[in-house]
Chains A and B, each alone.
Chain A
Amino acid sequence: MSDTAIGSHAIPSPAPIPVREIAPWLVFGLLMLLALYFVGAEEGATSIIPGMYVHEWVHDSRHLLGFPCH
């Protein structure tokens, strides 16, 4: 990238982060989605952990966050 001269009040234009550098972090994105699954759908329509404990524990937040419940 070329050298850039800008005024004292200008913000340096951020260079985009290459996709190949973001990609490894998407593993964490999947973990986030898994966490959302436990709040939003576990033991409702599908279930990984047997029983209804997770569902009942996050019951109120599931309703208030807009997920279908019972």
Chain B
Amino acid sequence: MTVAIFWVSPATDMENRMMVRTLLIRGMLVGFLAGILVFSFAKVFGEPQVDHAIAFESAMDEAKAKADLERGIHDVEEPELVSRKLQASYGLLTGVMVYSTAFGGLFALVFSYANGRMKSTDPRVVSVLLAITGIIAVYVVPSIKYPANPPSVGNPDTIGMRTELYFIMMLVSLLGMIAATMLQGRLRQQYNAWTSTYLAGACYILIVFTTGELLPAVNEVPSNFPADLLWNFRIDSLGMQIIMWTTLGLGFGAFTEYANRNRFGYRNGANIQLNAH
């Protein structure tokens, strides 16, 4: 059996700084790739739901305009700033790409902190664990309290309050997840992986559940809005998030593992003497 000897000396500050730079660029690239997948999915599955919802909205508006006209009130139609065609193509593309690339970058920054500070030494495992906790903290939990809504659901007058509540929920969920992760690390010194993760997870659920109970409920779905349309829209919204976080988790880990293999030459069975200087 071949035994490789590694002489791992501490990386210099400069090397570390360049490492973060490399990870950041990698994260944004993977985020960009994820964005293309998310956009394709959104274009095929999400857009039809948005169109159905807008058709519903227009029908409601027309009915209202007709009723108003009978009472002698002339409704003024809002001018269209950006055409539906543009919103559904380049507009959607812009939003999704910016969102995915930005999350890719943030993901890389969190990874550069987490890698080497977790029990697992495999970058692919670290990356996947970050993606799983990420989607739960950033999307799943905030959406359970304040789910994604298609056009025509939501009162324009309450947009300020709704945005505030959504971001509060997201912030608490994110901080709760960070706290739970730190707690898991502490518990790990005393308990095994199962028990410490179980206890830390319970703490996270307690935090977000309590917050969810304290924050006010928002339900602005029109009573005659089609239930299946609402369901499909929300499932497609979740699907987009699953595609993005899966691509980030698996893609970023795979790229990092590949880069490390080339850099450190491990797994080649070769006798490599590695000296960082």
**A contact residues vs B (CB 8 Å cutoff):** 1, 3-19, 21-22, 24-26, 28-29, 32-33, 35-36, 38-41, 44-46, 51-53, 56-70
Q: Mark B1-28, 1 if CB is under 8 A from A, else 0.
A: 1111111111101001101110010000
Interface mask (B155-187 → A, CB under 8 Å = 1, otherwise 0): 110011011101100000000000000000000
Contact present for A17 and B112 (CB under 8 Å): yes
Q: With CB as the reference atom, state the residue of chain A lying closest to B99.
A: A39
Are A69 and B20 neighbours in the complex by a CB distance under 8 Å?
A: no
A23 to chain B, nearest CB (A): 9
Q: How far is the CA of A15 from the CA of B264 in the complex (A)?
A: 13
* Complex contact B16–A32 (CB within 8 A): no
14 residue pairs A–B, Cβ–Cβ below 8 Å = A3-B7, A4-B8, A5-B5, A19-B113, A45-B163, A53-B81, A57-B95, A59-B91, A65-B95, A65-B241, A66-B142, A66-B237, A67-B166, A68-B163
Given contacts A8-B4, A16-B116, A53-B82, contact A28 B150 (CB under 8 A): no
Using known A-B contacts A60-B91, A69-B149, determine if residue A22 contacts B113 with beta carbons closer than 8 Å.
yes
Let me know if B2 and A8 touch, CB within 8 A.
yes
Decide: B115 and A16 in contact? CB cutoff 8 A: yes
Assuming the contacts A63-B148, A66-B237, A68-B159, asked whether A22 and B20 have C-beta atoms less than 8 A apart, the reply is yes
Question: Contact check: which of B5, B163, B240 meets A65 at CB < 8 Å?
Answer: B240
CA distance A42 to B98 in the complex (A): 14
Whole-angstrom CA separation of A70 from B147 in the bound complex: 14
B113 contacts A68, C-beta separation under 8 Å:
no
Cβ–Cβ contact A24 & B17, under 8 A: yes
Q: Which of A15, A29, A52, A61 contacts B91 (CB 8 A)?
A: A61
Contact of A59 among B87, B113, B122, B240 (CB under 8 A): B87
Which of B20, B42, B102, B121 sits near A64, CB closer than 8 Å?
Answer: B42
A2 nearest CB across to chain B (Å) = 8
Task: Report chain A residues within 8 Å CB of B9.
Answer: 1
Please give, as numbers and ranges, the residues of chain B lying within 8 Å of A1 by CB-CB distance: 8-10
A66 to B134, CA, bound (A): 15
Q: In whole angstroms, how far apart are the Cα atoms of A4 and B272 in the complex?
A: 12
Task: Name the interface residues of B112-159: CB closer than 8 Å to any CB of A.
Answer: 112-113, 115-117, 121-123, 139, 142-143, 146-151, 154-156, 159
Tell me whether A69 and B13 are in contact (CB under 8 A): no
Closest CB in chain B relative to A31 CB, distance in Å = 8
Given A59-B82, A65-B237; A17-B116 close (CB under 8 Å): yes
A63 to B115, CA, bound (A): 34
Residues of chain A within 8 A of B11, CB atoms compared: 15, 17
Nearest 3 CB-CB pairs, A to B?
A: A61-B95, A16-B116, A58-B95
The answer to whether B231 has its CB under 8 Å from any CB of chain A is no
- Pairwise interchain contact A32-B17, C-beta atoms closer than 8 A: no
Once A22-B109, A64-B240 are accepted as A-B contacts, the answer to whether A12 and B92 lie under 8 Å apart by CB is: no
Q: Is residue B46 contacting chain A, with contact meaning CB distance below 8 A? A: yes
For A64, the chain B residues whose CB sits under 8 A away are 42, 46, 50, 92, 96, 148, 233, 236-237, 240
Asked if B269 CB lies within 8 Å of chain A CBs, one says yes
CA distance A14 to B261 in the complex (A): 12
